[in-house]
């Protein structure tokens, strides 16, 4: 028998693969999770939880390391941080497992997720839930008063993910070079004309790049209320026309004359550190201050939020539909919402990620833990974060991305 004979004989076996493709998990996995929280904690004891989370920031990685230590001490749960460069890798794995009919032995137990990924995974039945309401600490976020704890990307989360931290579009600049940073989108255009090549935004459809488009659209559109409705109800080209006029005017004054764009927010930060840019923005309000402390940004870095407010959202953790250690994952998600873990996360010396807890629900003693060291000049004053703009309906973002790529990305 020669190898090619063998290949022929193996063929029937191979035909089984597409067949197997046709038998995905029809229903979500049966969960033998107990109803009672104490029982869940008992079941979690001794489990190893694989938490897939972006590993691009050493400070975040250290914080997750601290979480793992506490979880082992308090709950007897071993937490393993699976570091990713992109949540897409975790999503790929879950899809492949679902295709292969793996409904209860998934390799991923908890995943740090953003709104776009959540919407897509939820739509395709890749998530487990609802579970958020069952976490005792979830009540501390006062979800009835703070609807953003239950909506992600304008979609109701329906308990399929638990809030973890907050993000808001925050601008930062090098005060050594910039005296008066632009306070709104129109001022940004004038500023860019005066400082050619010192500003840019990440390549669309990177999350931060698309957010910049939405922010500009919110300020430039005649009637912002239409953005809350699905884009299909409106004449997209007419509504978005002011944005394209704006970008056509802005691009020649961008870094590299708008012919090349950085891949992501972190690359934007790197260009600030290199001195190529004088003005940039991020979704993590604490990032500029942390980056100065970490020698990545110039010491003269200052942060601010646009006068009319900026887009913001909450980031979440979710459990894949086929996670093997759901109890452990829930105990971990609950611990992440504990006042202790949230206060430490908000500490600028640790990470600086704003808490999702409602201060009114905490005891005075607990609140005190959140008021630590606000003296960092690169840091945004907490009240700035109150100028929060609501997200447009997700369909606008899809329309903006497609139009942007067709206009600017085809060379």
Partner 1 sequence: MSGFTLAIRLLPRLTILLLVLPVTAGLVGVVAPAFGWLPALGGRSGTLAHWQALWQAPGLADMLRLSLVTGLASTLLALAIVVLFLAAFLETPLFRVVRRLLSPLLAVPHAAAAIGLAFLLAPSGLASRLLSPWLTGWTQPPDFLFPGDPGGVALIAGLVLKEVPFLLLMSLAALPQCQARERLMVARSLGYGPVSAFAKAVLPGLYPLIRLPVYAVIAFASSTVEVALILGPSTPPTLAVAVVRWLGDPDLSLRFLASAGALLQLAATALALLAWWGAERLVRRLAAGWLIDGGRRRGEATGRVLGAGLTWLAIGLLAASLAGLILWSLAAYWPFPAAWPSPMTLRTWREAADTALEPLRHTASIGLGATALSVVLVVGCLEAETLRRRPLRPGAQLILYLPLLVPPVAFLYGLVQLQAQLGLAAGWLAVTLGHSLFVLPYVFLSLAESYRRLDPRWGQVAAALGASRAATFRRVRLPMLAGPIAVAAAVGFAVSVGQYLPTVLLGAGRLATLTTEAVSLASGGDRRLTAVYALGQLALPALGFALALGLPRFLFRHRRQLLP
Residues 153-182 that bind partner 1 (CB under 8 A): 177
Q: How far is the CB of 307 from partner 1 (least distance, A)?
A: 27
Q: What angle do CA 354, 358, 363 make, to 5 degrees?
A: 110
For partner 1, the closer of residues 267 and 358 by Cβ is 267
Please say whether the beta carbons of 164 and 193 come within 8 A: no
Q: How far is the CB of 1 from partner 1 (least distance, A)?
A: 7
For partner 1, the closer of residues 50 and 370 by Cβ is 50
Instruction: Please report, as residue ranges, which positions from 208 to 267 form the binding site for partner 1 (by CB under 8 A).
Output: 255-257, 259-261, 263-267
With binding defined as CB under 8 A, does residue 146 bind partner 1? no
Instruction: Please report, as residue ranges, which positions from 9 to 28 form the binding site for partner 1 (by CB under 8 A).
Output: 10, 13-14, 17-18, 20-25
Please give the Cα distance from 239 to 243 (Å, whole number). 9
Number of chain positions touching partner 1 (CB under 8 A): 93
With binding defined as CB under 8 A, does residue 123 bind partner 1? yes
Name the one range near partner 1 by CB under 8 A: 240-248, 295-303, 327-335, 353-361.
295-303
Q: How far is the CB of 42 from partner 1 (least distance, A)?
A: 25
With binding defined as CB under 8 A, does residue 121 bind partner 1? yes
Contact track, partner 1, 259-288, x by CB under 8 A = xxx-xxxxxxxxx-xxxx------------
Contact track, partner 1, 25-64, x by CB under 8 A = x------------------------x-x-xxxxx------
Partners of residue 280 on adjacent β-strands = 172
> Which sign does the torsion angle of CA 214, 169, 304, 176 carry?
negative
Instruction: Please report, as residue ranges, which positions from 83 to 102 form the binding site for partner 1 (by CB under 8 A).
Output: 83-93, 95-102
Partners of residue 171 on adjacent β-strands = 281, 304
Instruction: Please report, as residue ranges, which positions from 342 to 381 form the binding site for partner 1 (by CB under 8 A).
Output: none
Say if strands 110-113 and 48-54 run parallel, antiparallel, or are unpaired.
parallel
Q: Residue 290 is inside which H or E element, if any?
A: helix 287-293
Residue 339's alpha-carbon distances to 113, 139, 168, 359, 370, in angstroms, are: 21, 12, 21, 10, 9
Instruction: Assign 311 to helix, strand or coil.
Output: strand
Going by C-beta distance under 8 Å and a sequence separation of 6 or more, which residues neighbour residue 201?
A: 208, 209, 212, 254, 261, 268, 281
Q: How far is the CB of 256 from partner 1 (least distance, A)?
A: 5
With binding defined as CB under 8 A, does residue 312 bind partner 1? no
Backbone phi, psi, residue 262, to 5°: -65, 155
């Amino acid at each position: 028998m020669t190898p090619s004979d063998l290949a022929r004989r193996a063929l029937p076996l191979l035909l089984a693969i597409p067949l197997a493709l046709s038998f995905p998990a029809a229903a979500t996995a049966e969960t033998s999770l107990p109803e009672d929280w104490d029982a869940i904690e008992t079941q979690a004891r001794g489990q190893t939880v694989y938490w897939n989370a972006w590993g691009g920031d050493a400070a975040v990685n250290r914080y997750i390391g601290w979480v793992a230590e506490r979880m082992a001490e308090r709950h007897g749960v071993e937490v393993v941080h699976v570091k990713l460069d992109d949540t897409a890798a975790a999503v790929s794995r879950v899809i492949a497992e679902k295709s292969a009919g793996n409904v209860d032995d998934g390799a991923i137990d908890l995943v740090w997720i953003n709104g776009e990924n959540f919407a897509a995974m939820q739509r395709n039945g890749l998530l487990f839930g609802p579970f958020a309401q069952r976490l005792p600490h979830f009540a501390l976020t006062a979800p009835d008063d703070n609807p953003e704890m239950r909506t992600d990307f304008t979609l109701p989360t329906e308990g399929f993910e638990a809030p973890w931290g907050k993000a808001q579009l925050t601008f930062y600049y090098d005060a050594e070079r910039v005296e008066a940073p632009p306070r709104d989108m129109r001022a940004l255009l004038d500023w860019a004309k005066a400082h050619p090549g010192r500003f840019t935004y990440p390549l669309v459809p990177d999350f931060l790049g698309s957010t910049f488009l939405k922010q500009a659209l919110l300020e430039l559109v005649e009637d912002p209320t239409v953005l809350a409705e699905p884009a299909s109800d409106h004449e997209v080209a007419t509504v978005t026309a002011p944005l394209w006029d704006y970008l056509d005017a802005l691009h020649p004054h961008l870094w590299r004359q708008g012919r090349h764009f950085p891949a992501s927010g972190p690359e934007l930060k790197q260009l600030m550190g290199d001195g190529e840019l004088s003005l940039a923005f991020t979704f993590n309000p604490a990032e500029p201050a942390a980056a100065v402390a970490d020698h990545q940004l110039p010491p003269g870095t200052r942060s601010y939020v646009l006068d009319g407010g900026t887009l913001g959202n909450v980031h979440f953790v979710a459990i894949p539909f086929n996670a093997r250690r759901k109890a452990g994952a829930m105990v971990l998600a609950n611990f992440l919402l504990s006042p202790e873990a949230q206060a430490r996360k908000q500490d600028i010396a640790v990470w600086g990620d704003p808490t999702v807890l409602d201060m009114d629900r905490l005891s005075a003693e607990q609140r005190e833990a959140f008021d630590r060291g606000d003296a960092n000049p690169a840091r945004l004053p907490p009240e700035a974060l109150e100028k929060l703009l609501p997200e447009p309906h997700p369909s606008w973002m899809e329309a903006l991305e497609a139009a942007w790529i067709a206009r600017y990305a085809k060379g």
